[in-house]
Amino acid sequence: MDETGSLGEASGTCAAGAGDGIASGAVGWVTLTLAPGHYELVCNLQNHYANGMRQELVVTG
């Protein structure tokens, strides 16, 4: 997936920012200030998005 326009990334196990991926059963995070609207959270590992690893996020204001 093209990440042009990405607003943030959480891919470090137990950490914020870029990394090698979040280990199974672990957590990662990112802090963003978002305008109201619809956003999509995605996993950018091969085939994960196609297999449903994504979630809509709705920000209301």
Is 55 a member of any domain?
yes
Please tell me the pTM assigned to this model: 0.67
Is 1 a member of any domain?
no
Is 13 a member of any domain?
no
Ordered per-residue pLDDT tens for the chain, 61 residues: 677 888 777 776 777 667 777 788 888 888 889 999 999 988 888 898 899 989 999 999 8
> d(Cα 29, Cα 31) in Å, to the nearest integer?
7
18-24, Cβ contacts within 8 angstroms, sequence gap of 24 or more: 21/45
Residues with Cβ < 8 Å from 54, sequence gap 6 or more? 40, 41, 42, 43
Side-chain half-sphere exposure of 49, counting CA atoms within 13 A: 11
Is 25 a member of any domain?
no
Is 53 a member of any domain?
yes
**In the chain, how many domains are there?**
1
**For residue 37, what are the domain limits?**
33-61
Is 44 a member of any domain?
yes
